[in-house]
Structure 1
Amino acid sequence: MTLPRDREPSLRILARPTDTNASGDIFGGWLMSWTDIAGSIVAFRRARGRIVTVAVKNFNFIQPVYVDDLVSFYAEVIKVGHTSLTVEVIVYAERNRAEDTCEQVASAHLVYVALDENRRPRPVPTTDN
């Protein structure tokens, strides 16, 4: 499998030895944290300001992530409510970057809420504004 060529990742990070669990694989919480950050980048842009994570609707670990994998997070807003946004994040690991191939390692749907200056929910702007 190759990375999506029709869009840019929201985030890329290299998995390091300090990110491993007791079994030597990358710790699942590390992957979840970066997935939330990648999702929040597109949610912040779409909401045009402060957002907060309110739910992880699902998180699927498909393949393990290993030390020295280059991990790419592709995030896209898939639903916009009055104050909330749902973001899908698809995560790939490039295990041998010389061959330009990758494996999907995770997917998730996260929900964010737009906040005003008082940290209260606010409407998500329409795309026309």
Structure 2
Amino acid sequence: MEKIYKRQPTIRTLPKHSNINSNGHIFGGWILSQMDSAAGIEAIRRVGGPVATVAIEAMKFHAPVNVGDWMSVYTDITKVGTTSLTIHIEVTVVSRDTEDETLVTEGDFIFVALDENHRPKKIDD
């Protein structure tokens, strides 16, 4: 039976051995970079141009990620201000021995829209 996922991730990847930490799990900084990349894609789509990460809030690591886990990064815009937007990110994995997605990490990233001089610019409605 084919598994149908209700939502589509912004990024889907397979962590590699080069991404492990000293405990044998995937390095949290690597996961954070995947989250920032996915949220950046979502922010650029919404703003229609360049953005910069200005803050990371409410980061939570719920469970470790292992080499070979099928990792998905989901993004949802939760707030749009005058020049900034907040994106909630959820990272899930599907392990080799299951078809169920498990939430492993989540956080809120704040981006600011940039003009041609790399200064904050107003986000259009």
TM-score normalized by the length of structure 1? 0.90
Question: Residues 84 and 114 of structure 1 are in contact (CA less than 8 Å); yes or no, is this contact kept in structure 2?
Answer: yes
Aligned to 2:121: 122
State whether residues 15 and 67 of structure 1, in contact with CA within 8 Å, keep that contact through their aligned partners in structure 2: yes
Q: How does 1:7-26 map to 2 (within 5 A)?
A: 7-26=7-26
Structure 1: 5+ residue runs without aligned partners?
A: none
Find the aligned partners of 1:100 and 1:26 in 2 and give their Cα distance. Answer: 20
The equivalent residue for 1:74 is: 74
Offset at residue 92 of structure 1 (A): 0.2
Amino acid at match of 1:20: I
Cα pair 2:68 2:96 within 8 Å, conserved: no
Unpaired segments of 5 or more residues in structure 2? Answer: none
TM-score, length of structure 2 as denominator length: 0.93
Query: 1:102, CA displacement in angstroms?
Result: 1.9
Q: Does the CA-based 8 Å contact 2:83-2:113 persist in structure 1?
A: yes
Distance 1:5 1:71 in 2: 13
Distance across 1 between alignment mates of 2:76 and 2:4: 13
Q: How large is the RMSD of aligned CA atoms in angstroms?
A: 1.5
